[in-house]
């Protein structure tokens, strides 16, 4: 045996780690019993456990009676899954669904939908740049840059108000070159929890149309804002307005099925023929990446979405998750308000929607929360509210008060 004397990979730099996922690893290794994870965008129940939704358990139990063979799925995924994605995102009776002008394929989570869409855009709109909100989910930039596209940002969050800089956002988009790609969050914006109102979406649409921009909507938290239909209203408004656009949806959070990697990519086109052509090239994109998608998670989700009883159960489960997060927002606000007696405004906690709030805590305050109090937030000051429970919310409020004092 002759071991190599030098590494072939000496020029390969070490991986700095993902800003979100590496925090999860650090949290798991932390021995302190009172530790609280408010970093990764994962829903925990009031016991701090990752739930297995009863709708999912029932669908899985039924499926286990009838597992059947596991052939390769079609490149585009399970047909009933894809149809269910369209109904969930656009509404069953939507003209764009009925006329067959949406190309949908099953993807490896929301991330897979973003990547397949990004690869397609890079190939067929090679000069187009991508504009993402400032700030956005860190991985947006990484995925689009990884596909070879230039990534820029548009104004979004206003730290002075804890709200949206809508006028600056609109003005910035109104100055983009035609066929630029604009990444938008449908609802429950990550990381700020700040969304466009319905009126603001209506004001954005003419800019998208007149500048000939290509919207790419990320919908990863459907059900966590105001409801399954309400959280998809931006997609429906764009489709109603005749805009052609991309939508990547994730089932990781609203099904609590993170590791199954289930999601979709839908491209709303002008007509059925265009959608068929787009679907064909999306299939080619998948084939040269990972060939075909996996079976199990998509079979479970298909069953829940297509069985009226299971669907109704799942709808209630998403409502319960949403309501628990809201209750935690209110509870944290109440404890902080009591501590600060009006010396500081925490109203953003209940104004921002979905899993996240942008606390405005700076990096050193986030580090003190972790080091001194075992409370984990993302470096940007993003807090995932679903890590709060009745048992830890007071500890978190105390810790925030200590680092803000």
111 near ligand KET, judged by CB under 6 A:
yes
Smallest separation, CB 111 to ligand KET (Å): 3
Of 103 and 355, CB closest to ligand KET: 355
Smallest separation, CB 190 to ligand KET (Å): 4
**Tally of CB atoms within 10 A around 9:** 7
The dihedrals phi and psi of 333, each to the nearest 5 degrees, come to: -60, -45
Annotated catalytic residue: which of 131, 137, 201, 314? Answer: 137
Give the nearest residue (CB) to ligand KET.
Answer: 109
Long-range Cβ contact pairs of 282-291 (< 8 A, separation 24 or more): 282/76, 282/103, 282/105, 282/116, 282/120, 283/75, 283/76, 283/105, 285/116, 285/119, 285/120, 285/123, 286/75, 286/76, 286/105, 286/107, 286/116, 287/75, 289/115, 289/116, 289/119, 290/108, 291/72, 291/75
Of 40 and 89, CB closest to ligand KET: 40
250 near ligand KET, judged by CB under 6 A:
yes
Q: Are 58 and 313 in contact (CB under 8 A)?
A: yes
Smallest separation, CB 246 to ligand KET (Å): 13
Determine the distance from the C-alpha atom of residue 22 to the mean position of all C-alpha atoms in its chain, rounded to a whole number: 18
Q: Are 315 and 228 in contact (CB under 8 A)?
A: yes
In this structure, are strands 102-108 and 262-268 parallel, antiparallel, or unpaired? antiparallel
**Tally of CB atoms within 10 A around 339:** 17
Letters for 257-276 (x = contact with ligand KET by CB under 6 A, - = none) are ------x-------------
137 near ligand KET, judged by CB under 6 A:
yes
Q: Determine which residue in the list 77, 110, 135, 264 makes contact with ligand KET, applying CB under 6 A.
A: 110
Stretch that binds ligand KET, among 64-72, 105-113, 146-154, 358-366 (CB under 6 A): 105-113
* Residue numbers 14-33 binding ligand KET by CB under 6 A: 20
> C-alpha distances in angstroms, 290 versus 49, 78, 286, 324, 395?
32, 16, 6, 37, 45
* Residue numbers 183-242 binding ligand KET by CB under 6 A: 190, 218, 220
Of 94 and 261, CB closest to ligand KET: 261
Residues 6+ apart with CB under 8 A from 291: 72, 75
Of 76 and 404, CB closest to ligand KET: 76
In this structure, are strands 382-384 and 356-358 parallel, antiparallel, or unpaired? antiparallel
Instruction: Say whether 218 is catalytic.
Output: yes
Total site size for ligand KET, rule CB under 6 A: 14
Of 290 and 340, CB closest to ligand KET: 290
109 near ligand KET, judged by CB under 6 A:
yes
Annotated catalytic residue: which of 115, 195, 231, 253? Answer: 253
The Cα–Cα gap between 278 and 245 comes to: 12
Instruction: Say whether 174 is catalytic.
Output: no
Read off the tokens for 337. 């308000």
Annotated catalytic residue: which of 119, 195, 218, 231? Answer: 218
Letters for 34-53 (x = contact with ligand KET by CB under 6 A, - = none) are ------xx------------
Stretch that binds ligand KET, among 50-58, 93-101, 104-112, 147-155 (CB under 6 A): 104-112
Smallest separation, CB 191 to ligand KET (Å): 7
Residue in the block written with tokens 């004001």: 203
Of 188 and 399, CB closest to ligand KET: 188
Smallest separation, CB 118 to ligand KET (Å): 12
The Cα–Cα gap between 334 and 349 comes to: 10
**Tally of CB atoms within 10 A around 323:** 10
Instruction: Say whether 253 is catalytic.
Output: yes
Determine the distance from the C-alpha atom of residue 349 to the mean position of all C-alpha atoms in its chain, rounded to a whole number: 19
252 near ligand KET, judged by CB under 6 A:
yes
Of 354 and 404, CB closest to ligand KET: 354
Of 91 and 387, CB closest to ligand KET: 387
Which residues are annotated as catalytic?
A: 137, 218, 253
Binding site for ligand KET (CB under 6 A): 20, 40-41, 109-111, 137, 139, 190, 218, 220, 250, 252, 263
């Amino acid at each position: 045996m002759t071991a190599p004397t030098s590494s072939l990979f000496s020029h390969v730099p070490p991986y700095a780690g993902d800003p979100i996922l590496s925090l999860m690893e650090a949290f798991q290794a932390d021995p302190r019993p009172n530790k609280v994870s408010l970093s990764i965008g994962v829903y925990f129940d009031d016991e701090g456990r990752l739930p297995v939704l009863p709708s999912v358990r029932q669908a899985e139990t039924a499926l286990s009676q009838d597992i059947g063979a596991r052939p390769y799925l079609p490149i585009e995924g399970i047909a009933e899954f894809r149809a269910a994605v369209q109904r969930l995102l656009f509404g069953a009776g939507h003209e764009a669904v009925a006329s067959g002008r949406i190309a949908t394929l099953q993807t490896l989570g929301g991330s897979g939908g973003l990547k397949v869409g990004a690869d397609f855009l890079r190939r067929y709109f090679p000069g187009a740049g991508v504009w993402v909100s400032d700030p956005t989910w860190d991985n947006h930039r990484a995925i689009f840059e990884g596909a070879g596209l230039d990534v820029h940002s548009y104004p979004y969050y206003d730290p002075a108000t804890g709200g949206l800089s809508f006028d600056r956002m609109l003005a910035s988009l109104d100055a983009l070159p035609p066929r630029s790609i604009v990444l938008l969050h449908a609802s429950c914006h990550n990381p700020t929890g700040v969304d466009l109102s319905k009126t603001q979406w209506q004001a954005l649409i003419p800019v998208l149309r007149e500048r000939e921009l290509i919207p790419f909507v990320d919908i990863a938290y459907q059900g966590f804002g105001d409801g399954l239909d309400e959280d998809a209203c931006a997609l429906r408004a764009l489709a109603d307005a005749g805009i052609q656009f991309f939508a990547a949806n994730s089932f990781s959070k609203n099904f609590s099925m993170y590791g199954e990697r289930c999601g979709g990519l839908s491209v709303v086109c002008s007509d059925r023929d265009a959608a068929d052509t787009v679907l064909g090239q999306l299939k080619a994109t998948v084939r040269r990446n990972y060939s075909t998608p996996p079976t199990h998670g998509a079979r479970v989700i298909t069953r829940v979405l297509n069985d009226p009883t299971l669907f109704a159960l799942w709808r209630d489960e998403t409502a319960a998750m949403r309501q628990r997060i809201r209750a935690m927002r209110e509870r944290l606000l109440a404890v902080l308000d009591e501590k600060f007696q009006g010396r500081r405004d925490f109203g953003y906690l209940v104004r921002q929607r979905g899993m996240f709030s942008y606390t405005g805590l700076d990096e050193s305050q986030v580090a003190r929360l972790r080091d001194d109090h075992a409370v984990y937030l993302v470096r940007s000051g993003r807090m995932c509210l679903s890590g709060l429970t009745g048992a830890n919310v007071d500890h978190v409020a105390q810790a925030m008060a200590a680092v803000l004092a």
